[in-house]
Amino acid sequence: MVIGIVVGLLVLVLSAVPVAAVLGILSFVLDEVAMDGRLTAALAEIYWENSKNFILVAVPMFILLGEIMLRAGIARRMYGAVIQWLSWLPGGLMHANIGSCTIFAASSGSSVATAATVGTVAYPEIQAREYNERLFLGSLAAGGTLGILVPPSINLIIYGLLTDTSVPELYLAGIIPGIILSWLFMLTIIFACIWRPAWGGTKIETNWVDRFKTLPHLLPPILLFTAVVGSIYGGVATPTEAASIGVVVALIIAASFRTLSIPMLRDCFEGTMRTTAMIMLIVFAAIFLNFVLGFMGITQAMLQFIAEMGLTPVQTIYLIVGFYLILGMFMETLSMMLTTIPVVFPIVMRLGVPEFSDVWFGILITLLMEAALITPPIGINLYVVQGIRTRGGKFNDVAIGAIPFVFAMLAMIVMLITWPSIATWLPTLVYH
């Protein structure tokens, strides 16, 4: 039955059926076949109970925050400042791509928004500075993935909702892995440009005077991060309320830049509504599928199957990692989280290893989702970066350029499994 469900998912996804429709079709078919359609009668009640969760309001708020940052010019000013501080490294502006994505991720909560925003600002520099286009585009796609790991993160909010895990603890747990992963991305660029110096483009001349002049441009994203994350850990606001605070601060910054206007707000609201509608449609379709799978006993069957294999806890984790790496090539990350976590999460929690906690697993899952964002054929960030290429070019350029960064992610995943405290140390220090 499990194999049939996976095959059904893959067939529908590869048939270019929208993800929400895939989940909905599979739910109704399984309900009809296994439960005689009885669960469909409870559909309205299921959706009502799940839609009342207050933390879901944070999703459109963080999306709106990213939209305001993009249209207020905050990202462009930030990128110019990061150039001054990181472009001296082998690889030049590619380090500015990673650094800017890390800073932007600390405010937006969305990988797609991070890749699109920084990519739009950085793309013209490829030809102007004679960079290797594939590696440059790969750095944008990979850097964008940090949007779901560095707090605040929409994916961590949804994981917390699905598993009843503390979102503030998840946010703390993502900080150190996010910083380490950004360093691994930069080391990847350094090694590539030492191996092939021509890939690093022409050197950018700068000096300390120019660097210090750009420091004020880094203040808005730092202020946003402080407002959002600081209000959570200061006990002032919940994650949802903190997202609202971030929107207000972003509007104030936009007004100070004199970019706040009715047309700009209209564009922000339209973009937010489109993205939120897409996410929520997938979320609620997946919720019903999870409900059906639960009644069919799929979770218990998976638990029994894993137990009968006789694997050690670490072997089980690596089996799950391999499963997600393969599945991530064919499924969109949000739908993958929503359809698999209710099945996989109980397996991990029953391993009996204290270090493999719910918070730790949330960060591991997020890293696996990041890998899925840049692995073809359905790597969303690859398509986002391909979409910003005004001069055109093959999709393979972006996909090949992202491959070295996939290996950096795999190294981060191995580190997290080997040393779980990378994720758990900070939440334990603060909350326990």
Interatomic CA distance for residues 304 and 287, integer angstroms: 23
Other residues' Cβ atoms within 10 Å of the Cβ of residue 141 = 28
Domain boundaries, the chain: 55-431
Interatomic CA distance for residues 22 and 324, integer angstroms: 18
Other residues' Cβ atoms within 10 Å of the Cβ of residue 414 = 12
Return the pLDDT at 360: 95
Return the pLDDT at 214: 87
> Are 302 and 2 contacting, i.e. CB atoms less than 8 angstroms apart?
yes
Interatomic CA distance for residues 8 and 89, integer angstroms: 47
Interatomic CA distance for residues 336 and 153, integer angstroms: 16
Return the pLDDT at 12: 61
Q: Which residue has the tokens 């730790």?
A: 360
- Name residue 35's amino acid: M
The torsion angles phi and psi of 278, rounded to 5 degrees, stand at: -65, -45
Return the pLDDT at 182: 93
Does the CA dihedral 342-348-352-355 come out positive or negative?
Answer: negative
Return the pLDDT at 418: 94
How buried is 399 (Cβ within 10 angstroms: 0-12 exposed, 13-18 middle, 19+ buried)? buried
CB neighbour burial string for 307-344, b if at least 16 within 10 angstroms, e if fewer: eeeeeeeeebbeebbeebbebbebbbbbbbbbbbbbbb
Contacts of 161 (CB under 8 A, 6+ apart): 53, 55, 56
Return the pLDDT at 285: 75
Other residues' Cβ atoms within 10 Å of the Cβ of residue 195 = 9
Give the chain's count of helices (H) and strands (E): 22, 0
Return the pLDDT at 3: 58
Q: Running along the chain, 432 residues long, what does each successive block of 10 average in pLDDT?
A: 59 62 75 69 69 74 82 83 86 88 77 79 80 89 85 84 87 92 94 88 82 87 85 80 88 89 91 78 72 68 70 89 80 73 86 89 92 77 78 80 92 95 91 72
Interatomic CA distance for residues 332 and 330, integer angstroms: 7
Alpha-carbon Rg for the chain, nearest whole angstrom, is 22
Which region, left, alpha or beta, applies to residue 415 given φ > 0 means left and ψ of -120 to 50 means alpha? alpha
